[in-house]
Structures are given as C-alpha cells and as structure tokens.
Amino acid sequence: MGSDAPLFKAMRSTKATSPSFEAWLDDEINKTPERRAAVEALVAEMEVEQQPVALREAQGLTQQQVAERAGVSQALVGRLESGRGRNIGLHTLVKTVMAMGGRVRVTIEVDKPTRAVALSKARTRARKVLKSKKK
C-alpha cells in the first residue's frame, strides 16, 4: 500500500464530514480501475462481516445460541462476525446464517471475458476464416 500512504495520511488530517473531503476521496478512489476495484472488494467484505452480526442482533440471539443451533463453536461465530474467519467454508457460513433464520445468496459475475472465452472466440473466428478460404 505504499502508493496509498498519502491517501490515508490525508484521511487522518481531514474531517470525514467535509464535502470537499468526500469529493477528494471519491477522486482518489476513482483514479485507477485497480484502486476502485480494491475499494469495492473491501467494502463488500465489510458488508459480509456486518450482515451476520445485524441478523443475530435482530433475532435477539447470542453468539453462543447461534453456535448451538448451527452446531459450531462460539469462537467460530465470533471469528465470522469479526472478519477474522478468513477460511470459513461456504457450507459453514450458510449453516450459521440459517441457524439465525437468514439465507445466503452467492453471485458470480464476470467483469472481463476470461482467457477461455477469448480463446473460444478466437477459434470460432479462425474456423470461419478457414471455411471461407476453402470456398
């Protein structure tokens, strides 16, 4: 994060409620597609961490109660909620969320064509060219 160091320094020295700070921050985030993607990924990760906490609290459950219902340890529920549970499997996440009366939806999106798609399209074009030359 060496190139982002000035960003964080400025964030600490500027009031977060300032409209000019918000405009500046938006400009900094949008300077490169890579930076924008990194920020979006972090925000999505934080949302995933916050949603189980909100669900548990809305249901009036303790971490221990959720753990018992899901058949997992309270420590695992705590790691899930704190963001420290980096290697928690999807099955465990679903089981824990369902124990709180929620559901998990997973969406897979492709932003850019994958190498396999690009190769497939190139092969199709090559076949068309070869067929047209045979005629």
Predicted confidence pLDDT, tens digits, the chain (135 residues)? 444 555 555 555 555 556 788 888 888 888 888 888 888 888 877 777 788 899 999 999 999 999 999 999 999 999 888 877 777 888 998 999 999 999 998 887 766 666 677 777 788 888 888 877 776
Please, are residues 71 and 95 in contact by the beta-carbon 8 Å criterion? yes
First to last CA, the chain: 57
37 inside domain: yes
97 inside domain: yes
1 inside domain: no
User: Which pLDDT score, from 0 to 100, does residue 89 have?
Assistant: 85
Q: Look up the domain containing 85 and give its range.
A: 32-107
8 inside domain: no
User: Rounded to whole angstroms, how far apart are CA atoms 42 and 134?
Assistant: 53
85 inside domain: yes
pTM over 0.85: no
The letter for the amino acid at 118 is: A
99 inside domain: yes
122 inside domain: no
User: Which pLDDT score, from 0 to 100, does residue 13 have?
Assistant: 55
Q: How many domains does the chain have?
A: 1
User: Which pLDDT score, from 0 to 100, does residue 69 have?
Assistant: 96
User: Which pLDDT score, from 0 to 100, does residue 63 have?
Assistant: 96
CATH number of the domain that 43 lies in? 1.10.260.40
Please, are residues 61 and 101 in contact by the beta-carbon 8 Å criterion? no
- Which residues, in sequence order, are CB contacts of 11 under 8 Å at separation 6+? 21, 25
22 inside domain: no
